[in-house]
């Protein structure tokens, strides 16, 4: 049991590193991305500060200024998402292939025993391709998803690839908000 | 000359002393947090550590069922709330309210907790549990 679970943790560390490495090669190191990211962060912080100081004021001029800045930020965020999108698709395809390979390796194999009974709508995932009706048995895919959820995000934060909180708070990114950057 | 260098040194000291390392400020009560991001980072990483630690303890005991999940959520959220409002005495509104602090890194910590809990529980009690069920 130890061997399977630790192997899955190892696989998800490797895939997370591979994913970040590929994204670095295709996106993070490009000048366009770095420029846009710096711009978005600067604008988000500026906007947040402006909202804090003039948030409650009914001054039309301030409101207009805020709206204009929001619009600019939105456009920059959209550009940033487009820069990311190309590589995201490439990585998505590569990872789907990898995942189906691992799925076939672990097909029908109970990799762990859950200490709790998962909710009915999660059982489809936690008991995927497993024989029997014992829903405490855990499939590869469930443990892999959990590992990825925790490891990928932490690796992103450690390497400083996650967008800052100010930027994600202002949202508008196509890929949704992500937690802030570790300095 | 000497006097001016002395005053320079004093000035430097003055600017350097308030900037203690994040580690020291994190374990010192009522620290100053001029950069909000730093404090949120401390909360984030503390949460990850709590998640993994609780996962190991729950797995070793072993704690089972819904109770384990609820206890984790209560301890995790409670510890962060006590740390920020009682130990560090920060103004929650500066960080967007208590909710912002409570949810900072919660899902990642929950995933980390589940992984360690499942791995240790499976490793130690798989056979016993399977036979019993």
Per residue in B15-67, pLDDT (tens digit) is 445 567 888 888 888 888 888 888 889 999 999 999 999 999 999 998 998 99
pLDDT one-digit tens code per residue, A158-176: 988 877 776 666 654 444 4
Contact B123 A154 (CB under 8 A): no
In which band, very low, low, confident or very high, does the pLDDT at A69 lie, cut at 50, 70 and 90? confident
Q: Is A1 on the interface with B (CB under 8 A)?
A: yes
Q: What is the pLDDT of residue A54?
A: 67
Rounded Cα gap, residues A128 and A137, in angstroms: 10
- DSSP structural state of residue B17: T
Is the pLDDT at B7 greater than 90? The verdict is no
CB contacts, 8 Å: A146 with chain B: 111, 114-115, 118
CB contact (8 A) between residue B111 and residue A150: yes
With residues binned 3-state (H G I as helix, E B as strand, rest as coil), the percentages for chain A, rounded to 5, are 70, 0, 25
Q: Is the pLDDT of residue A154 over 50?
A: yes
Q: Name which of B55, B72, B70 is nearest B117 in CA terms.
A: B55
Radius of gyration of chain B (CA): 21
What number of other Cβ atoms are within 10 A of residue B66's Cβ? 10
Assembly ipTM: 0.80
Measured in whole angstroms, the distance separating CA A59 from the mean position of its chain's CA atoms is 38
Residues A10-61: tens digit of each pLDDT: 999 999 999 999 889 888 888 888 888 888 888 888 887 777 776 666 677 7
Determine if the pTM surpasses 0.90.
no
Residues 96-155 of A with CB under 8 A from B: 111-117, 134, 136, 138, 143, 146-147, 149-150, 153-154
Looking up tokens 């984030």 gives: B44
Q: What is the CA radius of gyration of chain A?
A: 21
Nearest residue of B to residue A52, measured between CA atoms = B94
pLDDT of B76: 93
């Amino acid at each position: 049991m130890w061997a399977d679970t630790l192997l899955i943790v190892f696989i998800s560390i490797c895939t997370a590193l591979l994913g970040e490495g590929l994204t670095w090669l295709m996106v993070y190191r490009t000048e366009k991305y770095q420029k846009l990211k710096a711009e978005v962060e600067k604008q988000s912080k500026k906007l947040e500060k402006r909202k804090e100081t003039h948030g409650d004021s009914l001054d039309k001029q301030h409101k207009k200024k805020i709206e204009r800045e929001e619009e600019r930020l939105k456009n920059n965020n959209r550009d940033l998402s487009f820069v990311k999108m190309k590589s995201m698709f490439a990585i998505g395809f590569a990872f789907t292939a990898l995942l189906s390979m691992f799925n076939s390796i672990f097909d029908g194999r109970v990799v762990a025993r859950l200490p709790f009974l998962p909710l009915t709508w999660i059982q489809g995932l936690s008991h995927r391709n497993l024989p029997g009706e014992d829903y405490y048995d855990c499939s590869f895919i469930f443990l892999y998803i959990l590992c990825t959820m925790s490891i990928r995000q932490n690796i992103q934060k450690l390497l400083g690839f996650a967008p800052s909180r100010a930027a994600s708070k202002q949202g508008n990114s196509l890929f949704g908000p992500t937690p802030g950057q570790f300095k | 000359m000497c006097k001016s260098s002395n005053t320079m040194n004093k000035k430097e000291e003055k600017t350097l002393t308030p900037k203690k390392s994040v580690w020291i400020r994190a374990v010192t009560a009522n620290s100053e947090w001029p950069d909000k991001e730093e404090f949120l980072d401390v909360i984030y990483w503390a949460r990850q550590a709590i998640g993994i630690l609780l996962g190991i303890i729950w797995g070793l005991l072993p704690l089972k069922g819904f109770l384990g999940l609820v206890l984790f959520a209560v301890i995790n959220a409670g510890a962060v709330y006590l740390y920020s409002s009682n130990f560090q005495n920060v103004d929650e509104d500066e960080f967007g309210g208590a909710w912002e602090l409570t949810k900072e890194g919660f899902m990642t910590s929950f995933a980390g907790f589940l992984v360690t809990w499942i791995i240790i529980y499976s490793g130690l009690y798989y056979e016993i549990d399977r036979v019993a069920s």
